[in-house]
Amino acid sequence: MTLLLAFAITLMIAALISDIARRSVLSTSVLFLLSGFMVGSGWVGHMVQPSEALLERAAELALFSVLFSDGMRTGGVGEIRRFWHLPGRALLIGMPLTIAGVAALAHYLVHLDWSMSLLIAAALSPTDPVFVSAIFGFESVPKMITHVLNIESGMNDGLALPVVLVMMRVVLGGRNSLTDIVADLLLGVCIGIVIPWGCIQLEQVKILAPTGVFQPLYAFAIGVLVLAISYRFGTNLFLAAFAAGITVASLSQRVKESFEKFGELVAELLKLAALLLFGALIAPRFFRPLPALEYLFVPLAVFAIRPIAILGALYRTELSMRDMLTIGWFGPKGFASVVYGLMILHSGLNHVAHLIGLAIVASILVYSSTDVLIGRHFDRAHKDNISQSTQESIR
């Protein structure tokens, strides 16, 4: 009940200050994270701790809903095919470089062995556009930047999972073979394609047409069906969600458009609830002292490695240096890293999980507060270009 009360009060405050947050560096994501810290630390009464299982499920649902919506926002297979080369470079070159860089940092700075270093690097490699959502609201931000960020973040959650599972198997020993891991990933993609395809075919039958409030609920039902079947077969939820969103966008513009606002609301509520639970869970562990080098590792791993990796991946493309730096900077760690961190915590690797938790919190605090600033920079640059063009035309 305390967690529910905290969520309700925080949600009310977030709604009341949302206009201020939209125009400033104040972030509602940070507000829910801090609310969770207060509840979990006992600052507002007795200490309340959510179970790890509850947080893991909440984070999975939040990430699933976000990826389902993000998949629709790509515009479908046709749009992805037209603009694949830049997201492809970010995923196939930038992501391995990021994992290698963070792993080297963990090995030489924190003195973890290579298997542990690769494990923490893989867990921190996925990005999450949820925490920089304001950047998508600025029309002056080039569409190619938002397209790369959207596609990359949708795909890298699932691509990081095999590395996390394999390295956990190396560190702890496990029963899952590499073949089983790959099969689960492929099955997730198949479920994400086949289920929406069948549902869209049903929707096109003349006597079967969702209408009114059931239009957005039909797309919601497709997502829940994909989620339920993915849970039933124990396959990759994240790739299934993203593939399902892309399939819906590819096959039915009407279903996609009817779901957009409703899906955004559902994803936002799940995201905020998961953030509050995450803050409450890690609060008692968060302030435990660590060696100075481990505190140094967190900002370097989160904020320094990815920009360098993305610059290397996107070098000699049509993007300007400013565009590449923007893509490189926006690499927030979100719900995928939370889920992977909880898996690592469950396995008994508490120290690694603590470092991951610190990195996630630092990421949310910084990236959620800089998206508006960078969006405004693009706005100013766009207005200056218009003003300059107008003056030149007058001359």
Residue 115 lies in a domain: yes
Q: What is the pLDDT of residues 142-161, one digit of tens each?
A: 888 888 888 888 778 777 87
Using 50, 70 and 90 to split pLDDT, how confident is the model at 227?
Answer: very high
- Of the pLDDT bands very low, low, confident and very high (cuts 50, 70, 90), residue 23 is low
pTM: 0.81
Residue 125 pLDDT grade (very low, low, confident, very high; cuts 50, 70, 90): very high
Residues in the chain: 395
**DSSP E strands, the chain:** none
Residue 308 lies in a domain: yes
Alpha carbons 244 and 69: distance in angstroms, whole number? 9
What pLDDT was estimated at residue 310?
94
pLDDT at residue number 313: 94
Q: How many C-beta neighbours within 10 Å does residue 229 have?
A: 17
Do residues 344 and 123 lie in contact, with contact meaning Cβ atoms separated by under 8 Å? yes
Flag whether 3 is in a domain: no
Contact 118, 99 (CB under 8 A): yes
What mean pLDDT is predicted for residues 36-50? 76
More confident residue, 135 or 353: 353
Q: Is residue 240 part of a domain?
A: yes
Whether 119 and 89 have beta carbons less than 8 Å apart is answered as: no
Phi, psi at 347, each rounded to 5°:
-80, -5
Helix (H) or strand (E) holding 332: none
Of 61, 110, 31, 25, nearest to 267 by C-alpha is 61
Angle between helix 335-346 and helix 350-394 axes, rounded to 10 deg: 170
**pLDDT grade, residue 222 (50/70/90)?**
very high
395 pLDDT exceeds 60?
no
pLDDT category of residue 31 using cuts at 50, 70 and 90:
confident
Question: The domain spanning residue 138 has which CATH number?
Answer: 1.20.1530.20
Coil, strand or helix: which one is 50?
A: coil
The answer to whether residue 264 sits within a structural domain is yes
Examine residue 231 and state whether it is found in any structural domain, yes or no. Answer: yes
Return the pLDDT at 107.
Answer: 95
Q: How many CB atoms lie within 10 A of CB 38?
A: 18
Structure tokens at 116: 């542990």
Query: For residue 122, what are the contacts with CB-CB under 8 A and spacing of at least 6?
Result: 99, 160, 163, 164, 167, 340
State how many domains the chain has: 1
Residue 297 domain-assigned? yes
Q: What is the 3-state secondary structure (H, E, C) of 351-391?
A: HHHHHHHHHHHHHHHHHHHHHHHHHHHHHHHHHHHHHHHHH
Q: First CA to last CA across the chain, in angstroms?
A: 68
CB 338 within 8 Å of CB 360: yes
Query: What pLDDT sits at residue 384?
Result: 64
Percent of the chain with pLDDT over 70: 91
Lowest mean pLDDT among 69-73, 250-254, 301-305: 69-73
Are residues 333 and 360 in contact, defined by beta-carbon separation less than 8 angstroms? yes
Q: Is residue 29 part of a domain?
A: no
Structural domain range at position 224:
50-280+289-388
* Cα radius of gyration rounded to whole Å, the chain: 21
Confidence of residue 38 (pLDDT cuts 50, 70, 90): confident
Q: pLDDT at position 309, please?
A: 95
pLDDT at 394: 60
The SS3 call for residue 175 is coil
Residue 345 backbone dihedrals phi, psi, to 5 degrees:
-65, -45
Q: What is the mean pLDDT of residues 172-184?
A: 73
pLDDT number for residue 271? 83
At position 382, the amino acid (one-letter code) is H
